[in-house]
Amino acid sequence: MAYAIASGLVEKNFPCRLFHFDRDSAKYVRFESIGSSSCWKLEELLEACDTVFFAVKPQNFDELLAQMNGFPTGEKLFVSIAAGISTGYLAASLGRGAKIVRAMPNTPLLVSMGATALCANEQVTPQELCYVQQIFSQLGVCEIIEEELMNAIIAVNGSSPAVVYLFVKAFVDGAKEQGIDEQLAFRLFCQSVLGSVEMLQSTGKSPEELIRMVTSPGGTTLAILDSLEQSHFSEAIADSMRACTRRAQEIGK
């Protein structure tokens, strides 16, 4: 995710200098290839940067924060993209005055089609939050929400790309089973997803209205929708979203 954000900023010519630190130096080649400067110690990076992104897995936060070892946070802006990690948890370690933005982006950032949700603690000024929003807006859409919804939003944008890929795979597999060429089904289905999203965004019609436009009485669409609902499709999605939020709470701090 760190590389997706950094490379997206470089591609968009966002005015900034980039520095990276990772405990795995094999990761450095990629970052250096986009002009980011390698730091061999966390302190080096902290000294060089005004805005610091934390992009380690939630389970690595304790060791990361321990490495910071009371480094003065000053006026620095910290941005964490980790699922479940609260601004309160970070402030407890970084210091009460630390300016912290919590973000939930997603992998489509890599193709500048990301969707990011942000919140900030009270130390962050509206201008600073706006700056972080500008960063993520280079890479797609970016919305500001309340921190109490940050775990629940993960199902909506952070994890949902995986569900979309599963959905595509299920359709392509289903097509293959009925004798359709896999690549052809992939092309037609991806375009159907793209076109449907464009319809949602450009016509202003609700999902229900657009469903009605596709569904002829007694027709094929009714058959596919009825079959999905018999398999409790909507309920399964709602259940899966609750599971996602619960997991964020479990791994969260």
Residue numbers belonging to the annotated binding site for NADP(+): 55-58
215, burial (CB in 10 Å: exposed 0-12, middle 13-18, buried 19+): middle
Stretch that binds ligand A1CAB, among 43-51, 152-160, 171-179, 205-213 (CB under 6 A): 152-160
Task: Please select the residue that binds ligand A1CAB; options are 159, 185, 189, 245, rule is CB under 6 A.
Answer: 159
Q: Is 83 in the site for ligand NAI (CB under 6 A)?
A: yes
Stretch that binds ligand NAI, among 29-37, 52-60, 88-96, 118-126 (CB under 6 A): 52-60
Q: Which does 27 bind (CB under 5 to 8 A by kind): ligand NAI, ligand A1CAB, none?
A: ligand NAI
Q: Is 62 in the site for ligand NAI (CB under 6 A)?
A: no
Residues 6+ apart with CB under 8 A from 226: none
What are the strands of the beta sheet with 77-80, ordered from one edge? 51-54, 77-80, 99-104, 114-120, 140-144
Residue closer to ligand A1CAB (CB basis): 83 or 132:
83
Phi, psi angles (nearest 5°) of residue 124? -80, 130
Q: Is 58 in the site for ligand NAI (CB under 6 A)?
A: yes
Element (H, E) at 225: helix 220-230
Task: Please select the residue that binds ligand NAI; options are 25, 33, 60, 125, rule is CB under 6 A.
Answer: 60
- Closest approach, Cβ 218 to ligand A1CAB, in A, equals 41
Cα 253 to its chain centre, rounded Å, is 19
Residues 6+ apart with CB under 8 A from 30: 3
CB 251 within 8 Å of CB 151 = no
Stretch that binds ligand A1CAB, among 8-16, 140-148, 151-159, 215-223 (CB under 6 A): 151-159
Count of residues in the chain:
253
CA atoms within 13 A on the CB side of 66: 5
- Closest approach, Cβ 248 to ligand A1CAB, in A, equals 8
Can you tell me the distance from the alpha carbon of 134 to that of 141, in angstroms, rounded to the nearest whole number? 10
Task: Please select the residue that binds ligand A1CAB; options are 154, 155, 172, 185, rule is CB under 6 A.
Answer: 154
Closest Cα partner for 159 from 84, 253, 233, 86? 84
Residue 50 DSSP symbol: S
Residue closer to ligand NAI (CB basis): 92 or 224:
92
- Closest approach, Cβ 23 to ligand NAI, in A, equals 4
Contact set for ligand A1CAB, span 60-99 (CB under 6 A): 83
First to last CA, the chain: 20
Task: Please select the residue that binds ligand NAI; options are 12, 41, 57, 246, rule is CB under 6 A.
Answer: 57
Q: Is 8 in the site for ligand NAI (CB under 6 A)?
A: no
Contact set for ligand NAI, span 97-126 (CB under 6 A): 104-107
Task: Please select the residue that binds ligand NAI; options are 9, 64, 79, 120, rule is CB under 6 A.
Answer: 64
